Structure 1
Amino acid sequence: MASIFDGIEKGPPIEVFALNKLFLEDTDSRKVNLGVGAYRTEEGKPWVLPVVKKAEKAVVDDDSLNHEYLPVLGLDTYASAATALLLGEDSIQIKNKNAFGIQTLSGTGALRLGAEFLARVMGRRVFYYSEPTWENHQKVFLSAGFTDGHAYRYWDPTTRGIDFDGLIADLKKAPEGAVIILHACAHNPTGCDPTKEQWVKIADIIEEKKLFPFFDSAYQGFASGDPVHDAFAVRYFVERGFEIFCSQSFAKNFGLYNERIGNLTVVQKNPATSAAIQSRMTLLVRFMYSNPPAFGGRIVGKVLNSPELRQEWMDSIKIMSSRIIKMRKLLREELENLKTPGTWEHITQQIGMFSYTGLTEAQVKILIEKYHIYLLASGRINMCGLNEKNYKYVAQSIYDAIQATKV
């Protein structure tokens, strides 16, 4: 029987999820998952933060709470706490009511809401993203109504660091009003962040060219273990007087991946524009998903608004970031001990969950098919997939894959 859906072709698989499926189906005892972007313990298991368990129990046991709809823009107690975490408790922009937050469906939802506003309300059509960047950046902005996407140079495969001269040259070509997507910290996928001096130069160009900075902050606190350190770039731009959007995610730093809890921080020059911005954001949310879920917001809000729980959270993110730093050190040392061709200092110079290894697609293919080590075709690995039981095997496999592809 004919169907109206008969002519639909399958879409391409999403690489990271397809890779995870292959890993789960693999029966080899040596298998290692370096693909999926989630924290793993030394035992390779997901970690529910103890402070999150406490907050969950407190939320469940609170008889004053119910399952009524939240306001369209979410829980104010949560959004205000998230905004203060990003900008600082003593932020002059918060005190002057120039900044506010909107609860969203994780960081992706914050990006989409901000992009929808810029495209549909403000008529922006041009956006710039780093090359490489998180794969969803382009798709989110194009789906929201942007029509003209451009890459600015970022990764230098020769130095395995930032091509800063190329970055600046490309931003200088951007037309007035273009939206510039900037990674707040722990750049995904490279793990390479600009220095403080480089952020100053980036801000100079954005100011000179009258561009609009849209930060993506997915790893605050998770990257270095210090939320203040990881918020430097955003706070510098705000203190300098920029109007910005910043998407925030609490997937990694709270381990709340499936709660989809995010925040869109808006910083403006005049608090008188808040009502108009919020009213248009309200309509956009209503058209897309009506209003956000409550549970994740209540958990994060409870933790951030309680000095005791907040300190426990700080201890947890220190544990996670320290383990990642340790794995970087061990992997680099082992690669160098094996005299693996190439240079490997970038492994420890990078920060956050991901490392852009510099491995080629051919080498990645060997690692997956012969050694059962799963990583993205770009050579990006999740450092959390390493532990003291497997890092030597991974290093040896990388050595072998490089040797097998030597010309």
Structure 2
Amino acid sequence: MASSVLSLASAAPSASLSSHEIEKGKLNLGKYSLCFKKEKTNPFMKTKSVGRISMVVASEVSRFEGITMAPPDPILGVSEAFKADNHELKLNLGVGAYRTEELQPYVLDVVKKADKLLLEKGENREYLPIEGLAAFNKVTAELLFGADNPVRKQQRVATVQGLSGIGSLRLAAALIERYFPGAKVLISSPTWGNHKNIFNDAKVPWSEYRYYDPKTVGLDFEGMIADIKEAPEGSFILLHGCAHNPTGICNGSLDADAASVRMFVARGMEVIAAQSYSKNLGLYAERIGAINVVCSSSDAAARVKSQLKKLLDQSLFKEWNAEMEMMAGRIMNVRQKLFDNLSSKDKSGKDWSFVLKQIGMFSFTGLNKAQCDSMTNKWHVYMTKDGRISLAGLSLAKCEYLADAIIDSYHNVG
């Protein structure tokens, strides 16, 4: 683009300019100094003449004028509306962040202890290797696959740190785009909203497979399998490893949560697995995660890791496991009590058992957009418009209130 760099001091310009100075593109104007170069024109630049000299100067129109406004984050909008509501019974069931029974943010005790230990040991904040902290990569792979899994012993796993789950998935998308050009990714319908953005930005084609059945408020397993069977050869299937978002920490057991990944690996399948420590460690802001690529050989794993490169304390680990079980247990108790209230208070005979069949932090209510609006406008319950609620933001004390809101909105709003 055409450009100019102007350095101003003071005083009047010199009376004469040599052709040599002009040809070199540098003008000495007394204590004014002007450097310029001729390049292609730009719609955001204007030409200004000074005698026989033409300069290109920046106009008041921004170079970024043509950038469109990104759509608002639906979760952020829910939180902002919740903050502005002064109703004493208001509930924020939009954000997928764990809360205590008093509905306050929770920092795990084990995280506090780990922070203290790091400070006492004098840990610094120096640059890490491109692939991240080696000790972290070792234990995160052990958590996912199991310490004695053959794929680890055979060095067939390439693991590098990523920016939580989303950043790790973005690395996976970049890997697919670069080394599997044209390969399609199949994404569940529905899925977490950012999944589609990730693959769009990486220029990876995707399509949806059936997942949610609104009639049963559960899994459309037959539709899912049929769509996967129809996928082109070489496609990648995006699965939610332990608890589906938005329809379904799981049960608090690390082995149970990792069972699906281990099952695929045991069957000899090559897998790309993104990990996040936002919810199970409460490290939402730190963006801690990893990407693991299981390959058919150690040589392939080494090559993959080379491309991905462009707190090891057993007592704390046991304590973390116990805290996860406590957090997951509270969510399961809330889920059970919500179901109990829905079943006992709704006299229509509607079957609410789908609430118990779902697992994890989230639950689909089966409410449509109009009913969700009623939940917010009448009952001050803030949630996303697809009917998803975060049970982590619900207390046992408010389960009855939420059940009343759901029953009223379901039966009285079309």
TM-score range, shorter chain: 0.7 to 0.9
Q: Which amino acid aligns with 1:134?
A: W
Distance 1:27 1:5 in 2: 39
Q: Which amino acid aligns with 1:392?
A: E
CA deviations on 1:20-71 (whole Å, 9 max, x unpaired) are 11111211111100000100110001110001100011112212x3222111
Q: Which amino acid aligns with 1:66?
A: N
Question: 78-87 or 95-104: which moved more?
Answer: 95-104
Is the partner of 2:215 in helix, strand or coil?
A: coil
**Contact 1:224 1:352 (8 Å CA) reproduced:** yes
**Contact 2:374 2:413 (8 Å CA) reproduced:** no
Distance 1:178 1:278 in 2: 21
Cα 1:12–1:102 shift into 2, 3 Å: same
1:323 pairs with one of 330, 344, 366: 330
Q: Which amino acid aligns with 1:336?
A: S
CA deviations on 1:341-382 (whole Å, 9 max, x unpaired) are 532111111110000110111110001111110011010000
Unaligned runs of 5+ residues in structure 2 are: 1-59
**Alignment TM-score, normalising by the size of structure 1:** 0.85
The answer to whether structure 1 residue 13 and structure 2 residue 72 are counterparts is: yes
1:171 pairs with one of 216, 222, 228: 228
Q: Which has the higher helix share?
A: 1
2:218 counterpart residue number: 161
2:30 counterpart residue number: none
CA deviations on 1:175-211 (whole Å, 9 max, x unpaired) are 11111101111111111xxxxxxxxxxxxxxxxxxxx
1:239 counterpart residue number: 266
2:187 counterpart residue number: 129
Is the partner of 1:150 in helix, strand or coil?
A: strand
Distance 2:207 2:87 in 1: 42
**Contact 1:366 1:401 (8 Å CA) reproduced:** yes
Q: Structure 1 vs Structure 2: percent identity of aligned residues?
A: 41
Distance 2:235 2:268 in 1: 18
Q: Which amino acid aligns with 1:186?
A: A
Q: How many residue pairs were aligned?
A: 354
2:355 counterpart residue number: 347
Distance 2:364 2:94 in 1: 12
**Contact 2:158 2:305 (8 Å CA) reproduced:** no
1:260 counterpart residue number: 287
Q: Which amino acid aligns with 1:23?
A: F
2:398 pairs with one of 390, 397, 402: 390
CA deviations on 1:312-340 (whole Å, 9 max, x unpaired) are 00110010110010001111111111116
Distance 1:7 1:29 in 2: 44
Distance 2:177 2:336 in 1: 43
Distance 2:106 2:372 in 1: 28
1:299 counterpart residue number: none
Cα 1:133–1:337 shift into 2, 3 Å: same
RMSD: 1.3
> How many angstroms does 1:2 deviate by?
3.8
The answer to whether structure 1 residue 336 and structure 2 residue 343 are counterparts is: yes
> How many angstroms does 1:276 deviate by?
1.9
Is the partner of 1:130 in helix, strand or coil?
A: strand
2:365 pairs with one of 353, 357, 361: 357
Unaligned runs of 5+ residues in structure 1 are: 192-221, 284-301
The answer to whether structure 1 residue 54 and structure 2 residue 62 are counterparts is: no
Cα 1:89–1:119 shift into 2, 3 Å: same
Distance 2:307 2:223 in 1: 37
2:200 counterpart residue number: 142
Q: Which amino acid aligns with 2:273?
A: C
**Alignment TM-score, normalising by the size of structure 2:** 0.83
> How many angstroms does 1:5 deviate by?
3.8
**Contact 2:102 2:395 (8 Å CA) reproduced:** yes
Distance 2:347 2:82 in 1: 26
1:182 counterpart residue number: 239
**Contact 1:110 1:262 (8 Å CA) reproduced:** yes
Cα 1:9–1:269 shift into 2, 3 Å: closer
Is the partner of 2:231 in helix, strand or coil?
A: coil
Distance 1:69 1:340 in 2: 61
CA deviations on 1:115-171 (whole Å, 9 max, x unpaired) are 10111133243110111111111111121120x211111111112211111111101
Cα 1:186–1:121 shift into 2, 3 Å: same
Distance 1:79 1:69 in 2: 16
**Contact 1:124 1:178 (8 Å CA) reproduced:** no
1:314 counterpart residue number: 321
User: Any runs of at least 4 consecutive aligned residues in structure 1 with deviations exceeding 6 A, and if so which?
Assistant: none
Distance 2:347 2:363 in 1: 17
> How many angstroms does 1:10 deviate by?
2.5
1:70-219 to structure 2, matched below 5 A, reads 70-146=128-204, 148-191=205-248
2:88 pairs with one of 29, 38, 41: 29
- Higher RCO (Cα < 8 Å, 6 or more apart): 1
The structure with the largest alpha-carbon Rg is 2
Is the partner of 1:242 in helix, strand or coil?
A: coil
Distance 1:52 1:131 in 2: 35
CA deviations on 1:61-92 (whole Å, 9 max, x unpaired) are 212x3222111110110011001100001101
1:368 pairs with one of 367, 376, 392: 376
Q: Which amino acid aligns with 1:138?
A: K
> How many angstroms does 1:11 deviate by?
2.1
**Contact 1:331 1:395 (8 Å CA) reproduced:** yes
Cα 1:117–1:340 shift into 2, 3 Å: farther
